[in-house]
Structure 1
Amino acid sequence: MSAESSDSISPSDSSRPLKGKRALISGASRGIGRGIALEMAQAGASVTINYHSNPEEAESVVKECEALGVAAFAIGADISDADQVRGMVSDACQQMGGLDIVVSNAAYSDRHLMLESDMDEFRRTIDVSMWGAFHLVRSGAQKMVDSGNGGNIVVISSPHAHMPMPGAMAYNMAKAANDQMARTAAVELASKRIRVNLIHPGWIDTPGERKFFKEETLRSEGAKLPWGRLGQIREIGRGAVFLCDPRSEYITGSTLTIDGGIQLPWREMYRVEEARRETAAT
């Protein structure tokens, strides 16, 4: 039986399935990362909040997590810098006494058509969203292998990995790389009892979306989606908890899609509605 077993949680602990686990989440001072940190804390895990440029917001998340009865810490680091990531992982292990869960969430995106791209912004998107994910997955996995206790790695990717969204070439490229990176890592780390999985969020209500869209656009366009709204950050957090739950130990190399149906062919429903109208008129 592996160290992480589906029988390792008693019924009394079912509401806190990550009790005793230690998690590091990149880009967790706001948005999806914040939602993941809060849900993991709610599930009983100690959490380290990585941030790049928002220390006040990171400390606010720390306080929210502590209020849920767990230890929480904040560490500033540029995820695109391999040396800073290694230092952050070491610091997180020292503060929490080890590392059981790594969530690669930090991302950057600048939206321009390919022919109009500012190459500094293009490279920054790749450096943070692709190389940053790799640096964290690699450094986190090394600590887990050294401990010999297995672990969980969750990579927050995107439907952009397989949907060539115009105006987002660098981000599309980075997320496609994330998917292959995570699946390859899942193969290479399985014998070490380290599970690696992906989450594909849909259109989520985050501060980052306001970089590209007005509030009224988010509300009106969100209402047109199959589920009638944008996703919420803690819905992604609950997905991350599910993947890291010891009862999910047979899941590795998989992609959990949490998108309210946005990748379904929902726009094609007009064909059904039109056929209905034609039938009713005859």
Structure 2
Amino acid sequence: MTDSGDSQQPSPTGFSSRPLSGKRAVVSGSSLGIGRGIAIALAQAGAEVTINYRSHPEQADEVVQKCESHGVRAHAIAADMGIQSDVERLVDEAAELMGGLDIVVSNAAYSDRHTMLASDLDEFRKTIDISMWGAFYLIRRGAQKMVDAGQGGNIVVISSPHAHMPMPGAMAYNMAKAANDQMAKTAAVELCRDRIRVNVVHPGWIDTPGERKFFSEETLANESAKLPWNRLGRPDEIGRGVVFLCDPASQYITGSTLTIDGGIQLPWREMYRVEEAEKLS
């Protein structure tokens, strides 16, 4: 075993403003939303980044420019995460462009919201193909590159509380995210000897263009105000979590789940009881 994937030593304080300098990352589904926030955060931390997109080339180019504004190289590659050959090409081209691969972030997802009985099976399968199989294709090919290089590395899977919360109307997405969690933890076990760390992030309700597919602006404003933190999360907040997990100073963290949700998984519907208790004390 080698520790070269995390060989960069932390500063005496344990923190560095550019902890990922010299690292090379690929982020699936990163032209918009959470993926965009992750790509920019990685660039801010010093990593060279490959942005993946399927149907938003202009937005991908904008993310490239944002990343490059932080003094790093950045690239954009089109690939459909539901197609195995596309995903493998993405990883191969990214590794060739950057001269290797140190960080793989599986972020791309798709979701169609219908109850089980009303599901369009083509849409159901598309959700599984992109959100589950796409994640598997990506982390498998990325891990192969890292193992062959013998330098260790980091894989981060952006999953969801849907992995353990059976949200009605989202069966395919729930299934895919539950699979993501087990996939990542199994990979963490299998890749530990190669010093490849695999971790999961559970974002809460994040303010992204994708939310507009299901909710109106009025609904988002009204419902977000009811959340424990009284707002939706931001993509950059998820990005900072990914940087934390990939930081060499975090090298003892693998097979873990980082929840970044503003308390949404807490029993927040019972929060009135706190005020009630205070009145009684």
- Normalising TM by the smaller chain, what interval? over 0.9
Q: Percent identity?
A: 73
Match of 1:266 in 2: 268
Which one of 177, 194, 201 corresponds to residue 196 of structure 2? 194
Q: Out of 220, 223, 234, which is 1:232 matched to?
A: 234
Go from structure 1 to structure 2 and tell me whether the alpha carbon gap of 1:4 and 1:90 turns closer, same or farther (over 3 Å shift): closer
User: In the alignment, which of 18, 28, 31 is matched to residue 30 of structure 2?
Assistant: 28
Counterpart-to-counterpart distance in 1, 2:274 and 2:250: 38
Cα offset, 1:233, TM superposition: 0.3
Alpha-carbon deviation of 1:9?
Answer: 3.5
CA contact (8 A) 1:6 1:249 kept: no
CA distance in 1, matches of 2:45, 2:21: 6
Q: TM-score, normalised by structure 2?
A: 0.96
TM-score, with length taken from structure 1 = 0.95
Residues 272 and 242 (structure 1 numbering): CA distance in 2 closer, same or farther, change over 3 Å? Answer: closer
Alpha-carbon deviations, 1:116-141, whole Å to 9, x = none? 01111000000000000000000000
| Conserved 8 A contact 1:48-1:75 | yes
Residue of structure 2 aligned with 1:149, choices 142, 148, 151: 151
The aligned residue for residue 41 of structure 2 is 39
Residue in 1 that maps onto 2:4:
3
Structure 1 partner of 2:214: 212
User: Which one of 3, 15, 18 corresponds to residue 17 of structure 2?
Assistant: 15
Between 1:81-90 and 1:144-153, the stretch displaced more is 81-90
For the aligned residue pairs, the C-alpha RMSD in angstroms reads: 1.6
1:203 partnered with 2:208:
no
Which deviations, in whole Å up to 9, do the C-alpha atoms of 1:78-111 show, x marking residues without a partner?
0111111111111001110100000000000000
* 1:183-205 Cα distance to aligned partner (Å, 9 max, x none): 00000000000000000000000
Q: Give the partner amino acid of 1:94.
A: E
Moved over 6 A (4+): none
Q: Distance in 1 between matches of 2:32 and 2:100?
A: 24
What residue number does 2:115 align with? Answer: 113
CA distance in 1, matches of 2:272, 2:46: 45
Alignment length (residue pairs): 279
Cα deviation, residue 273, structure 1: 3.8
Q: How far apart, CA to CA, are the structure 2 residues paired with 1:83 and 1:153?
A: 20
Alignment partner, residue 182 of structure 1: 184
Q: Secondary structure at the match of 1:64?
A: helix
